[in-house]
A and B are shown apart, each in its own frame.
Chain A
């Protein structure tokens, strides 16, 4: 892994800011085919490249003539690029892997995807396959992460209501020491926020409490985990469980709580783009992601939580379902996800969020 990091930064890092201006922080990693390359597969993905190296290598062992260009991008950027490039007949991704389920569904609904039928995808639960065009391949819980070295008492914070109560009762202690996603600038943060708003009356109460506490807002889980690990923040809300689990294994200071009022479960969604140059290879990659071998790697080295219930291990849907004390709420694929992408709805949600951040 370490060797690969060096390889990655020395040889293949490129910032694709030509098209997307200075705001883009895209990383391209090219995985050369082990044998003479005959085809190329272009992937846009929101997953850290470190996490999927094992998957890509195993895939290439099976299909040794496919070179993979892996673009690590924000969820919003994946969506905008696929739409922009398809509309303008530019080369685009063959496969988009994104944790922003709503954006992926919108891609499919608006006709930017192409269907894929295979035996392997039948192993997925019904809610994780929409139109055979969007395939969920992970089962990642949104969790609470806290620093048990600095604040062991936070072990009891196991629900949104408890968290809000804590922020209100110990406002001096918690001031600026709580961290969560910024729904305005993070696709996944927006999905979590809106899904919470649909399901829980406590959400806006929590949001106001977060605002009162001067919550730190960031756009990715890695930043949240770093902040809690450094002791900068004591507790993080709606952290990607997969990332938190991986870090908690190495860092004894970090502890994970699965909220017991309910736990949102996100699936990374694979979509083959309509303008794909190599949809066959993209299909093979989807097949691999949902195959036993792929899911075993997702449960193991990638620790992204395998969605298939016939896979066992720590990072699996099966283990999560066995150990969670509260309900697990997987976010189902379907047209309901389009609602909060409505521009007026989004404006309303974000203005309410901003008011809450001001404590109103």
Chain B
């Protein structure tokens, strides 16, 4: 019997199945051993009677004129009257082996000694238990050992051993039933804490992410721990989403207010040249606001969305981004270039990575002085893919390098316009890809941003 629990099997069924498997094994071993010990017990109980019968016959066996004489006592056979009404056979043999009286051809054992021997045999097509004993007789010039055999069919013995077997089988059945009932209710009782936990979780409001503090059995601690840790992450996620929304609305308020003010001023202008100048300001404000909104959305999707990973060529992605930002670079007379191979295959989300590169290059252009250089590169070091952006800007002080990854942080020293989201977005996207962003010094004195994609993101999943 094999047990193959399917996923739909309840705990109760599993427990019962294992219980019964174990019981079946133990019980069959027990039944087998008691079968043999019962036969032995039955034999020893009835063998004494058989021996008494043979002894009674032996006592009345004498050597007399004319040979061996046997006077079978009435009790010798009557005492073998049994509940199973077994059939009885007997034989007395003279010292020379000739039959004196009784049944012919009762099977003899291989060896006969002076102690009684019990054995099983077949006589008249039925299985019988036989005792054989010898008795020395002497008289009338005749001396020797007579052989007395008494046999009985096995009805009583088999009946007794069957009864003993049935009794122990009955007890085992009782144990099995009690065990099954105990297991049945034990599982319910054992799972009661889980039911309480289920009810408690079911009653919670959707935004209740407090950790579960119910007392549960040891076996459920890891599960509750996992639930709590998930609730914790969910709480953090919700919290940062809330923070982001309040930050974002705050950040959007200022440029929208200035856009409103500039457009109102423009409406008041009547001179076409002044009006044009005012409109240019409005347009610039609108562009900044638009860029900000775009970045906010990008950040939100980077933080919230689950990335769609696919194989992509990072080198191609970098070149495409450069093409997008080339007009801005030309406007500031910045030499925007790429150094590296044509192929850098990895696993990643094309849109998120594109946004990351866009932000990094955008930052570099923004913070670099006119006429300087921004250089992108892709390198393979020890299996890890490095995306490197070097600029000629002022760089970032050592003590500020951690802070710049926070949202809406802009350095005091910074002069360029920006909202402080760029590096936060970059960091968020890097985390999604298991990558690490580090800030360092470029060889020519500016900032070096190094995004390291570990080896495994490049392997085929």
Contact = CB atoms under 8 A, between A and B. Distances in A.
Interface of A: 108-111, 130-131, 198, 332, 334-336, 338-340, 342-345, 348
12 contacts: A110-B124, A131-B87, A198-B74, A336-B74, A336-B77, A338-B88, A339-B77, A342-B70, A342-B72, A344-B71, A344-B101, A348-B71
Contacts of B74: 198, 336, 339-340
Contacts of B243: none
Given A111-B125, A339-B76, A344 B100 contact: yes
Nearest to B89: A109
A335 B88 contact: yes
Contact of B77 (A108, A111, A335): A335
Interface in B69-91: 69-78, 80-81, 85-89
Main secondary structure of the interface of A (DSSP, over half): helix
A198 B89 CA distance: 21
A186 B85 CA distance: 27
Main secondary structure of the interface of B (DSSP, over half): mixed
A229 B330 CA distance: 160
Question: Residue among B73, B78, B85, B88 with the most chain A CB within 10 A?
Answer: B85
- Interface size on B, as a range, is 20 to 34
Question: Residue among A335, A339, A343 with the most chain B CB within 10 A?
Answer: A335
B72 A334 contact: no
Contacts of B80: 335
Contacts of B86: 335
Contacts of B87: 108-109, 111, 131, 335
A332 B89 CA distance: 19
Contacts of A340: 74
A353 to B, nearest CB: 15
A339 B78 contact: yes
B81 A336 contact: yes
Given A131-B85, A344-B70, A348-B71, A111 B101 contact: no
For the complex of A and B, the 6 pairs showing the least CB-CB separation, nearest first, are A336-B78, A334-B81, A335-B88, A344-B101, A131-B85, A335-B77
Interface in B92-140: 100-102, 124-126
Given A131-B85, A336-B78, A344 B124 contact: no
Contacts of A334: 78, 81, 85
B69 A344 contact: yes
Given A335-B86, A345-B101, 17 more contacts: A108-B87, A109-B87, A109-B88, A111-B124, A111-B125, A131-B85, A131-B87, A335-B77, A335-B80, A336-B74, A336-B78, A336-B81, A338-B77, A339-B73, A339-B76, A342-B101, A344-B72
B78 A335 contact: yes
A344 B66 CA distance: 12
Nearest to B75: A336
Nearest to A194: B74
Nearest to A132: B85
Contacts of A339: 72-74, 76-78
Contact of B85 (A130, A338, A343, A348): A130
A228 B102 CA distance: 40
A110 B71 CA distance: 21
A335 B81 contact: yes
Interface string B33-73: 00000000000000000000000000000000000011111
Question: Residue among B72, B74, B81, B101 with the most chain A CB within 10 A?
Answer: B74
Contacts of A338: 77, 88
A312 B73 CA distance: 39
Nearest to B85: A131
B123 to A, nearest CB: 9
B142 to A, nearest CB: 16
Contacts of B72: 339, 342, 344-345
Contacts of A108: 87
A343 B88 contact: no
Contacts of A345: 70-72, 101
